Structure 1
Amino acid sequence: MKEHGFGRWVAGPKTKWITLLVWIALVAILSVAWPMVNEKETNNAPNLPEDSLSVQADQVAAREFPSGEGVPALLVWQRTGGLTDEDLGVIQQLYGRLSASPVPYQLPEVIPFDKLPLPALKQQLSENGSSLVTPVFFEESAGAKETEEGLEQIQELTKDIAGANPFEESLGGEELTARVTGPAGISVDATGLFEDADVSLLIATVLIVLVILLLIYRSPILALIPLVAVGFAYGVISPVLGFLAGEGWITVDSQAIAIMTVLLFGAGTDYCLFLISRFRQDLREEESKSGALFRAMTQSSGAIAMSGITVVIAMLALLFAQYGAYYRFAIPFSLAILIMFIASLTLVPALLAILGRASFFPFVPRTPAMEEERAKRRNKPVKHRKVQSDNWIGRLVTTRPWTVVLTGVVLLGGLAAFTPQLKFTYDILSSFPEDMPSREGFSIIAEEFTPGELAPVKVMLDTEGQEINIQGILESQSFVSQAGEPAEGAENPNIKAVDVELAMNPYDLEAMHLIPDIRSLAESALTEAGIQDAASKVWVSGQTAVQYDTELIGDRDTRIIIPVVIGMITLLLLLYLRSVVATVYLVLTVILSYFSALGLGWLVLHYGWGAEAIQGSIPLYSFVFLVALGEDYNIFMISSIWKKSRHMPLKQAIREGVHETGSVITSAGLILAATFAVLATLPIQVLVQFGVITAIGVLLDTFIVRPFLVPAITTLLGRRAFWPGKAPYEEGAAVKEQA
């Protein structure tokens, strides 16, 4: 009873039904009582902390230079060969209607393009006369869905006036075309991308997991058990997160939900398989399905719990982040994994107890005695299953460990050597598909006008009444296309502001890294005028400044979170394994695998898919996931080796441990990698890049680190792998190790 106590509590003759009913009741009650998490999404939550320079600058700009213009949607009009008078007439009629009857959430103040004479309007065309940019302003309080409603009505008005919808025409043709870009257009497109991705991602993930399980285990019932468990877990996770978000305790967005779904199916299925594979093996040795199940739970529950806790702790490390997107991932991801591994230790055993051997139909595992009895009843000869305790990988890592270690280190180290070539971007537009309207609109502006027009940099300085020619200073710089006339602050007239249009894409790294130079120019101007403490009297706002701060905050978070994750996982491994040596090489191999995944991922994305740069958040996201999930496999395998080493020589324990865990970890790794690879099918580049690199990292862990590198290192270290503890098996070990 003591040995199987936990198993009897959740999967006994009566308790298995109680466990199932508890989960059903939990899902039903929570689903009715609390909202689902996708009902509480907040996709425009701030990412930068209040004390970042760009946020402070935005506050000064809002106070001293309130535009009252709201959020701009830039309508980009174009016709190959030049806009005609008829095209301009369509635009004028549209603005006349918008002025007389604004669309939903549109601000009533409209630039009077309808009242401008054609010659004046033509002066605003691009140099070749093919393009024109006209703004429409929406309420700042309007969300992406509300803004989209207004933009859709603008399209309908344009179609009514022109007789065709230029927003649906392909670029480069002979017809009038239009695209919506600017902050409003980008916000609408970003939200739409994630909304469209949610359902397709869920369907694709379920299908890929189901197909792989069917191919590997060839049992339709078994393939459904992990999916049912994940479904129940999600049925609890979603309302719990929805409640927390509704109370304002956490913030969730579409991106977090998308990645959480993938993580849940990938890691959740892995935890289920760790138990299921052990159960199948024990069913071949024990006639009682309950006894086999309790034995399987005893042998695997520790590793499953340790694996789950490792991932939970790694995700919680994101609470140390200052960048909002990182911080907001911590609670949803860690809570999801916590509930999932609880389900794998309660609901899955209950389902296996209810179904018994039928879970594996048509390939039902039986003991040799059961096979003989079955053959007698069917008057057929007994097919004796050959029991194999090791395989070629186990023999290789124990007979040629140096060869394996050197080959693995050279291979992984060679891939890791490509990481210095990585290039990063913080441009949200580069994450959009090239045919997204807001990206197409921006491309037209960049080609036909000055790209800096899309996102000007606002430079503000407190002159303390001194005459400072900040406009002239900025315009004299080669990287500035144009600097506007200085404006006076509404509350403090000594504060002057100049809008600067850069002579380059304001979202590029080159433009971002000019922000310190721009600040330095303004500070030097104040210092030369005799103004003290110039640094506190200069503010730079705009999207370029925001992206520069994003890079700084992201680098700060990376420097803090990576050591925290490594430290937490190291501590957990020490407590679990009670071996300093094993803990060190298990952590180092996963870190090496991570850098290898970055290097190989860059080769695939850059040279295979043509990506010029990857999103700046990818390395940290990938690290947290790969180190935590990679240790899962190490923990499961090393646990098997450690347990076997209690009653056999270490080399034999390694061979049998590699063989015993090989198939299940390979299956789990394929499923986890496939679920992350599903992200690569989405049109959102940040998810594509994250999915590719993480999938590659999981495969490297599954097929190189876990089966070859870790057991080979363990073989080389021998009994020192247990230091400061002692290897459990002593008697006759020296003789048998030589065998």
Structure 2
Amino acid sequence: MSVTHRRARWLVPLLLVAVWLGVGGVLGPYAGRLGEVATNDQAAFLPRSAESTEVIAAQRAFRQDEALPAIVVWTSDGGGPVRDRRADADRALASLADAPGVAGRASPALLSQDGKALQGVVPLRPDLGDALAPALDRVRAAAERVPGTTVHLAGPAATQADLSDAFAGIDGLLLAVALVTVLVILLLVYRSLLLPLVIILGAVFSLGLACAVVYALADHGVVRVDGQVQGILSILVIGAATDYALLLTARYREELVPRQAAARTDRFTAARAALRRSWSAIVASAATVALGLLALLISDLTNNRALGPVGAIGIAAAVVSTLTFLPAVLVLLGRAAYWPATPRPARPSTGAGVWQRIAALVDRAPRKVWAVSLACLLACAAFSPTLASRGVPLDETFVDDAPSVAAQSTL
């Protein structure tokens, strides 16, 4: 082999690694920017056929400023009547008219039938985003000027703020937990120090690519992103990229094992053989997952429908990374990728294990196996019409006691 040809063989994997390093550096930050194009409106968590969804859509026909209501509830510190605090509550609500984030005049304070509570509604702008919590703090500060009372904040604005607190940093936490879990599993499986890091790096690159594509599409209104979709996307891509990498690296390790004692398998030949023999299984697995995700497009919930195409994009990015970045790195590392373990021939199977018996059964009668499996799946699917999904009440949405839930109970 000429020197020029040998250099050309190294050029392709080096270029692929350089391209993916550029992808990670340029597109990686988009993983943290999906919140800029996220939409978390109330209708996204309601069925399209629900009457409340139709009302929300019908309200858009009226030319009026939208508002996010914050309900202020006053109760007496001693549990007694608060009738004599009504004028103070009215003044507190009126003082919020020109406060930042307030969309209009607040309602007057209304007295409950038993006289033990007061209620007022403060309209807030629906587009406050991160400024919602400070706006609620201003509402609470004004309401606390009513002496002898305890203030509670309920309504959509308080619930949205509690949801934001619950999901704050959850994407980074989920991603960190997923990466640590995958790293531990890979260390146990391969007993190698370098290969798990390479696989995780490829998974992170694929996540950056997927987030950049989703960001661009969401910015142009092609797909929809919300907090739930963001969290699921990161876990989905990391898991899929790791799964596909296991198939390729296992085949590459087998190809590195010499067929004869005196022979030594070339790393380029091993990589080509591993890629040729594993790409179809990887693509077939990815297509199955992607098609399953796209089935969510028929869901009656907007946030479920949004997950379908976004998840399929994540799966596609995982496949691209596995079939390009990972083989290139394996070629550059060779047997060093499995250090300190050394690729050795697999021990001959005795055929006594449960998986060997299952494999033998599938090999003997593949048509009977898939026919029986299909019949069992259809029998289980026959029960799907009995599923009754009526949603989750507010008091069961949060794991901990959220202030808005306690306020709603008081209200």
Please give the TM-score of this superposition, normalised by the length of structure 1: 0.47
Q: 2:112 corresponds to which residue?
A: 125
Q: Are positions 1:442 and 2:408 aligned together?
A: yes
Distance (Å, rounded) in 2 between the aligned partners of 1:410 and 1:250: 36
Partner of 2:389: 424
Counterpart residue number, 1:396: 357
Cα distance in 1 for residues equivalent to 2:400 and 2:380: 30
> CA contact under 8 A between 2:101 and 2:128: conserved in structure 1?
no
Per the alignment, residue 235 of structure 1 pairs with: 208
- Residues 157, 211 of structure 1: CA spacing in aligned structure 2 closer, same or farther, 3 A cutoff? farther
Give the structure 1 partner of residue 123 of structure 2.
137
Which of 237, 247, 271 in structure 2 is aligned with 1:264? 237
- Superposition deviation, residue 342 in structure 1: 0.9
User: Corresponding residue for 1:574?
Assistant: none
The farther-off stretch of 349-358 and 177-186 is 177-186
* In 1: Cα distance, 2:130 partner to 2:286 partner: 37
- State how far apart, in whole Å, the 1-side matches of 2:298 and 2:379 are: 32
Alpha-carbon RMSD across the aligned residues, in angstroms, is 4.0
State the SS of the aligned residue for 1:14: helix
Is 1:104 aligned with 2:100? yes
Partner of 1:203: 176
Match of 2:131 in 1: 146
C-alpha contact 1:12 1:353 (8 A) present in aligned 2: no
Report the CA distance between 1:14 and its aligned residue. Answer: 2.1
Q: After the TM superposition, which residues 647-726 of structure 1 pair with which residues of structure 2 at under 5 Å, given as runs?
A: none
State the SS of the aligned residue for 1:136: strand
Letter in 2 for 1:134: G
Taking the aligned partners of 1:62 and 1:181, their CA distance within structure 2 comes to 24
Residues 71 and 183, structure 1, Cα contact 8 Å, conserved in 2? yes
Distance in 1 between the 2:58 and 2:282 partners?
52
* Residue identity matched to 2:311: F
Name 2:249's counterpart in structure 1.
276
Cα deviation for residue 159 of structure 1 reads 5.2
Q: Secondary structure at the match of 1:75?
A: strand
Counterparts of 2:72 and 2:275 in 1: how far apart (Å)?
62
In 2 relative to 1, CA 269–433 (structure 1 residues): closer, same or farther, beyond 3 Å? same
Q: Which residue number corresponds to residue 312 of structure 1?
A: 290
Deviation at 1:210, TM superposition (A): 1.4
**TM-superposed deviation, 1:227:** 1.0
For residues 108 and 197 of structure 2, the distance between their equivalents in structure 1, rounded to whole angstroms, comes to 62
Partner of 2:70: 73
Q: 1:134 to 1:13 in 2, by over 3 A?
A: same
Q: 2:162·2:402 contact (CA, 8 Å) conserved in 1?
A: yes
1:16 aligned partner: 13
Counterparts of 2:31 and 2:78, CA distance in 1? 57
Structure-2 change in CA distance of 1:417 and 1:439 (3 Å): farther
The structure-2 alpha-carbon separation of the partners of 1:88 and 1:18, relative to structure 1 and needing over 3 Å to count, comes to farther
Whichever of the two has the greater Rg, that structure is 1
**Kept in 2: contact 1:144–1:188 (CA 8 A):** no
> Cα offset for 1:303?
0.6
Amino acid at match of 1:228: L
Distance 1:306 1:411, change over 3 A: closer
Distance 1:211 1:92 in 2: 63
In structure 2, what is the equivalent of residue 182 of structure 1? 155
TM superposition shift of 1:442: 2.2
Cα distance in 2, alignment partners of residues 295 and 189 from structure 1: 53
Pairing 1:292–2:232 present: no
Q: Is the 8 A contact 2:96 2:105 kept in 1?
A: no
Question: Structure 1: where are the runs of 5+ without partners?
Answer: 1-7, 114-120, 163-174, 368-384, 446-739
Asked if the contact 1:36/1:241 (under 8 Å) is kept, the reply is no
Distance 1:160-1:214 versus aligned 2 partners, 3 A rule: farther
Q: TM-score under structure 2 normalisation?
A: 0.79
The residue that corresponds to 2:306 in the other structure is 328
Q: The residue matched to 2:168 in structure 1 has which SS? A: helix
Give the 3-state SS of the residue equivalent to 1:72 in structure 2. Answer: strand
Superposed displacement of residue 237, structure 1: 1.7
Query: Conserved in 1, the CA contact under 8 Å of 2:108 and 2:120?
Result: no
Aligned equivalents of 1:109 and 1:95: distance in 2?
11
Q: Which amino acid aligns with 2:325?
A: L
Alpha-carbon distance, 1:228 to partner: 0.4
Q: CA deviation digits over 1:162-208, x for unaligned, max 9?
A: 6xxxxxxxxxxxx9644322222222223332334222212211111
Q: Aligned to 1:13, what secondary structure does the other structure show?
A: helix
SS in 2 for 1:106: coil
Correspondence for 1:727: none
Provide the C-alpha distance between the structure 1 equivalents of 2:305 and 2:221, rounded to a whole number of angstroms: 14
Residue deviations 1:225-267, cap 9 Å, x none? 2210111112222222212222222221111010111111111
Structure 1 distance, partners of 2:95, 2:166, is: 33
The Cα offsets for residues 637-677 of structure 1, whole Å up to 9 and x where unpaired, read as: xxxxxxxxxxxxxxxxxxxxxxxxxxxxxxxxxxxxxxxxx
Contact 1:20 1:351 in 2 (8 A): yes
Choose the corresponding residue for 1:339, options 308, 317, 325: 317
Distance of 2:301 and 2:384 partners within structure 1: 23
Equivalent pairs, count: 392
Q: Percent identity?
A: 27
Question: Partners in 1 of 2:59 and 2:221 — Cα distance?
Answer: 28
Contact 1:106 1:138 in 2 (8 A): yes
Q: Which runs of 5+ in 2 are unaligned?
A: none
1:617-632 correspondence to structure 2 within 5 Å: none
- Against the structure 1 CA distance between its residues 179 and 196, is the aligned structure 2 distance closer, same or farther, given a 3 Å change threshold? farther
Contact kept in structure 1, 2:203 and 2:237, CA below 8 Å: yes
Greater relative CO, 1 or 2 (CA 8 Å, sep 6+): 2
In the alignment, structure 1 residue 356 sits paired with structure 2 residue 334: yes
Residue pair 2:30, 2:215 contacting (<8 A) in 1 also: no
Aligned-pair distance for 1:161? 6.3
Measured after TM superposition, the shift of residue 275 of structure 1 is: 0.7
CA, structure 1 residues 194+88, in 2 after alignment: closer, same or farther (shift >3 Å)?
farther
Q: Find the counterpart in structure 1 of residue 34 from structure 2.
A: 37
User: Per the alignment, in what secondary structure is the counterpart of residue 10 of structure 2?
Assistant: coil
